[in-house]
Amino acid sequence: MHHFNYRENELYCEDVPIRTIAEDVGTPFYLYSHATLKRHFLIFNEAFDGVDRLVCYSAKANTNQAVLKLFESLGSGLDIVSGGELYRGLKAGFSSDRIVYSGVGKRMDEIDYALEAGILMFNVESLEELHLINERAGLLDLKAPVAIRVNPDVDPKTHPYISTGLEKNKFGIDRETAIEGYKVASRLDHIDVVGIDCHIGSQITEAKPFIEALESIKRLIEELRGMGIEIKYLDMGGGLGITYDDESPPHPREYARAIVESLKGTHLKLILEPGRVIVGNAGILVTQVLFRKSGRVKEFVVADAGMNDLMRPTLYKAFHAIEPVVRGEGDPITADVVGPICESGDFLAQDRKIRNVKKGDLLAVMSAGAYGFTMSSNYCSRPRVAEVMVKDDSYHVVRNRESYQDLVVSESIPPFLGD
C-alpha cells in the first residue's frame, strides 16, 4: 500500500494535491510519501519479530538525508557501498556500529574511513580485499570485523544486470574459495571474523531463491564451525522485489516466515538489507508534458524529465506506470513517453497505452522512489531535479533543484587557457 491516490480525478500524495506542489516547486521533481516510507519499514522490520536481527536499509536505493533520517529514527541500521554513503549515513545520525559496508570495490581511503568510524562489519568480496583490510587495520592499530560474501550460485530469476548470486557475477566468492578465505582470515592479526554474507540479486519476486541460498549458507556455517570458526552474524542481503507492473512478489511476512523457519536453532543474528521494497513505491517522479509529436508510425509525448533523471527504463527496459496528475477527457492513446535528451534511448515508456494528454499536463511516473534520484546525472548539462517529502497535509523540499551555476561550481579553467 502507498499513499498516492486520486480524489475526484486529481492525484494526491497523502493529503496534498500534487498539482499544488508542481506549481510551487516546478518540474521535474521526485516526491516521497513520509507515511509510505514509515509504513514499509515498520512492516518489514516487524515481520521478523521474535528473531535477533538488524534491518540495515540499503542506502544505494535512495540516499536523501530526509529519507535516511526517517529510517534512523525508526531504529534502522544502514547498508553502504561507498565512503560517500558512509558520510551520508553518519551525517543523518546513524550509529557507526549499525552500519555494514558491502561492495566489490572498496578503496583504501574508504576502508580507512570505515575503520576509524567503527562500523559493525565489512562484507569482504575477495581475498585481496581481505588482506588490504588487515593491512589498513594494522596501520591504525585496530581489528576489522569482517564477513565474507559467499556466492551460492543461485539463480534469482531477475534482470541479468541486477543478478548477483551466480558464479558468473562479479560479486562474492565461491564456496571453496570462501572456506580458504575464512582459514586465512582466522590467522590474520587485525581481522575479527564475525559473519557471513550472501546477496543474490535485486527485484526478486519469489521466496524460493532466498531459501535455496540460505540452505547453502547454513551448510557452510556448519563446516566452518567444525574448523573452529564461529559465525555470529548471518547477512542475507536484500533483493525482495516490488510491484511495478504485474509482478507478484511475496509479502514481507511471507518472506520473513520462510527465512525464520529455515533459521530455527541456529542462534545467529540476522542482518537484512532491504532497499527497493522499502522506498520503491514510496516515491514518484513528476514531469510536465512539453509537446505532443505525431510521426508516421509513432505518437510521442515529450516530457521535461529524461533518462538523466530516471535511468531505469533506458538501462533495464524497466516498467514504470505513468499516470496523469489530473485526469482529463478523451480516449486513451498509445505513445512513447520521451524526454529531452539527445539519445534514442531517452524514454520513460515505449508503446504505452496512457490517458490522452496535452502540452502543459502533469504526469506521475510511479514507483520511482528506489534507484531514481540516486542514479540521476547531469548529462546534457541538465541540473538535477528537486526532491520533496510530504507528511500529512504539508510538504517540504528536501533537496533543492540544482542551478546552472551548480553545474560549474567545481570546475576551473587552467591559467594556460587564458581568461
Q: What CATH code would you report for 34-278?
A: 3.20.20.10
Q: How confident is the model at residue 338 (pLDDT cuts 50, 70, 90)?
A: very high
C-alpha 133, offset from chain centre: 25
Please say if 342 is a catalytic residue.
yes
CATH top-level class for 4-31+280-408?
A: mainly beta
Inter-CA distances, 372 with 36, 65, 313, Å = 17, 15, 10
User: 365 is written with which cell numbers?
Assistant: 511516473
Active-site entry in 13, 198, 342, 380: 342
The answer to whether 131 touches 125, Cβ cutoff 8 Å, is: no
User: 47 is written with which cell numbers?
Assistant: 515481520
Please calculate the CA angle 193-198-200 and round it to the nearest 5 degrees: 165
Model pLDDT for residues 266-325, shown as the tens digit of each residue = 889 999 999 999 999 999 999 999 999 998 889 999 999 999 999 999 998 999 999 999
Model pLDDT for residues 187-202, shown as the tens digit of each residue = 999 999 999 998 776 6
Instruction: Delimit the CATH 3.20.20.10 region(s) of the chain.
Output: 34-278
Instruction: Delimit the CATH 2.40.37.10 region(s) of the chain.
Output: 4-31+280-408
pLDDT averaged over every residue in the chain: 92
Q: Is the pLDDT of residue 154 over 90?
A: no
Give every CB contact of residue 11 below 8 A, 6+ residues apart in sequence. 4, 5, 17, 18, 19, 323, 324, 325, 326, 364
Q: Is the pLDDT of residue 161 over 60?
A: no
d(CA 270, CA 262): 12
Please calculate the CA angle 88-91-93 and round it to the nearest 5 degrees: 115
Q: Is the pLDDT of residue 163 over 50?
A: no
